Amino acid sequence: MEKLGILGVPWMFHEKRQGVALAPYAIRYTGIIGALDKMGNDIIDYHNMAFFTEMEQEAILKSKDMKAITYKAKELRDIVTDIRLENAMPIVFGGDQFISLSTIAGMQANDTEQMVIWVNAHADMEQVLQGDDLCHNVMATVIGRGPEVLETVMNQQFIKGDDICILGTRRIGQKEIDLIKNEKIMHYEMTTIDKMGFSMVTDEIIQWMAKKKGPVHLVLDVDAIDPEFTPGTDFLSQGGIYWREIRYFMKNLALSNQIQAMTFTGINPLNDEKKQNI
């Protein structure tokens, strides 16, 4: 029996994407907690965290106060660490992709050596702050190559590049590609996936996991999936992973018994069409 710690994070770090704050509520509406319970899992529901207060909205969304932003990021980080210390697998639902920095940092605490599978249309390896788009700095920060102000969230416990796999990217910049190569990150762009076939890519990732033998944190942003299947996101990018492929991938990851944490982001229910995402 698996012990699962479910947490929703209705936060947004970009004023124009307010729909992402509704993501945990939309996901819960599908009845996912009951479905997991019927599968025989031991569920600990940590519920949804509170929305930002008016003061926090002013500091984070209006003033772009990095001290306020990192304070909230560390708050979530510490909660994820506590969930793990209670011997539960953290499963975190959110809309704003920036929360994945906190969930990765939370699993990295206490000298835990984790591997990260980053399924995303974006590599998010930008090393310089990108205005409101803090999510684009997440993976650079995770490996210790991001903005110094965000690296405090990682508490100097960075992840080695060869412990990271990035899957599903398309149309990313050359600087990001060069950084990925220099850091020896396992990387599958959609063009590579199309050439190899998704089953072969999945086999290579499973073999990589088995060789490493460490706990794996799956971070899935729905924009990695083709918008034909998941239109309810802020970043629509054609040519993504097909729904059958992501299901195949998830099933094979489950069989590995190495998944110790999961983070789901990128959902904006206000952009969804006919509730395809949920």
Per-residue tokens: 55: 């003061």
Percent of the chain with pLDDT over 90: 75
Task: Please check whether residue 15 is in contact with residue 234, taking contact to mean a CB–CB distance below 8 angstroms.
Answer: no
pLDDT of residue 201: 97
Using DSSP's 3-state secondary structure scheme, residue 259 falls into strand
Average pLDDT over residues 208-212: 94
* Phi, psi at 45, each rounded to 5°: -95, 110
Domains of the chain: 3-271 (3.40.800.10)
* Residue with more model confidence, 240 or 272: 240
* Residue with more model confidence, 237 or 176: 176
Per-residue confidence band for 39, with pLDDT thresholds at 50, 70 and 90: confident
pLDDT of residue 61: 92
* Residue with more model confidence, 275 or 14: 14
Predicted confidence (pLDDT) per residue in 222-239, tens digit? 989 887 877 777 676 777
Q: What is the DSSP letter of 233?
A: S
Tally of helices (H runs) and strands (E runs) in the chain:
11, 8
pLDDT of residue 270: 84
Cα–Cα distance measured from residue 178 to residue 167, given in angstroms and rounded to the nearest whole number: 16
Mean pLDDT across the chain, nearest whole number? 91
pLDDT of residue 111: 64
Predicted confidence (pLDDT) per residue in 44-91, tens digit? 999 999 999 999 999 999 999 999 999 999 999 999 999 999 999 999
Average pLDDT over residues 94-106: 95
Torsion 250-133-183-100 (CA) sign: negative
- Tokens 């980053």 belong to residue: 118
pLDDT of residue 62: 92
Predicted confidence (pLDDT) per residue in 22-33, tens digit? 999 999 998 999
Cα–Cα distance measured from residue 220 to residue 266, given in angstroms and rounded to the nearest whole number: 8
pLDDT of residue 79: 97
